[in-house]
Amino acid sequence: MNSTRDPILNRVNDALRDARRQTMPVLPREPRVSGDVNARIAGTMAAIEYVSGKTRRVKSKDELRKALAELVNAEHVKKATVWENQELQEVGILEMLSQLDVEIVSPRADKHDLAQCDLGVTSADVVLPQTGTLALRTTPEQAEIVSLLPRVHLAIFRPSALRADLAEVLTQVKDRPHAVLITGPSRTADIEKTLAIGVHGPKMLHVWSYEE
């Protein structure tokens, strides 16, 4: 690609010619969260609340419909965009939102239109209870923009998404061209180390477990 590649690599080789090479260490694994699925979901929710997220445990489609209605009402949701993956289609999020008179914008629409959305709905492929972290893998059906531009982000996960530690979470996303770990809504402490929620990303993160 350019003529500086080899000189730089030659300098690296020179520098390391007589260097003592450190062997790869055995890496410690994170302390596990013990307990059954119920306790682990509770732990996840507590961790998310700790970083200013809002959580809710949903046990059925009817409860989901009710929860959505409350969210749309509380957050004054007029426009929403939703991941087009199978998981969300199965639970029927799009239909529920339409019934609530929410205008649906395609995640493939122009970014300026998507920026007008009040709500973005995604699933979470992988969840880490210790820190309340959601892993979102970007695919054509799972556009990153849905969890980024709208004012409110709603992520729904099934209990099977829970993982043991961060290393295990990362093995689930490493083969994708793009992924993002999300822990709470966007935040900053750049002004006098005082926490302010809602900078450029979503101002509000709602995370619901769907335990059908």
Partner 1 sequence: MSHTLTHIDFRRNSQTVPPNILAATQKNTRTAVLKRAEAVEQLGVAYWEQLRQAGHDLRLHSITHLDHYLPQLESKVIAAGGQVHWADDAEHARQIVVEIARQHHATRVTKVKSMLSEEIELNDALRDAGITALETDLGEYIVQLDGSRPSHPTNPSLHYTKEYIADLFQRKLGVNAPPEPTALTEIARVKLRDEFLAAEMGISGGNFLVAETGTLVLVTNEGNGRMCTTLPPVHVAVVGIEKVIPDWSCAAILLQLLARSTTGQQISSYTTFITGTRAGGPREFHLVLLDNGRTRILQDVHARETLLCIRCGACANICPVFNQVGGHAYGWAYSGPIGAILSPQLIGTRLAGDLPFASSLCGACAETCPVKIPIPEILLHLRHRVVEGDRFARPVAPAILRVGTQAGTLALALSWLYALGTRILKFAQLPFKRGEWLPALPPPANRWTMVRPFPAFGADFRAWWRRRVTSGR
CB of 150 closer than 8 Å to CB of 119:
yes
Burial status of residue 12 (CB atoms within 10 A of its CB: 0-12, 13-18, 19 or more): exposed
Find the binder of partner 1 among 138, 158, 164, 211 (CB under 8 A).
138
Residue 20 near partner 1 by CB under 8 A: yes
- Token pair, residue 94, equals 């799009």
Q: Is 32 in the site for partner 1 (CB under 8 A)?
A: no
Cβ burial, residue 111 (10 Å; 0-12/13-18/19+): exposed
* Of 130, 156, 204, 209, the one binding partner 1 by CB under 8 A: 130
Going by C-alpha positions, the residue among 133, 208, 119, 202 that lies closest to residue 173 is 133
Does residue 34 interact with partner 1 by CB under 8 A? no
For the segment 61-100, give every residue that binds partner 1 (CB under 8 A).
none
Binding-site size, partner 1 (CB under 8 A): 76
> Which of 37, 196 has the CB closer to partner 1?
196
What tokens were used for 189?
Answer: 């402490």
Residue with tokens 């649906």: 104
Distance, CA of 160 to CA of 163 (rounded, Å): 8
Work out how close the CB of 63 gets to partner 1 at its nearest, in angstroms, rounded to a whole number. 28
Nearest distance, CB of residue 81 and partner 1, angstroms: 13
- Judged by CB under 8 A, the chain residues 141 through 200 that form the site for partner 1 are 143-145, 148, 165-167, 169-171, 173-200
Candidates 22-30, 68-76, 86-94, 95-103; binding stretch for partner 1 (CB under 8 A): 22-30
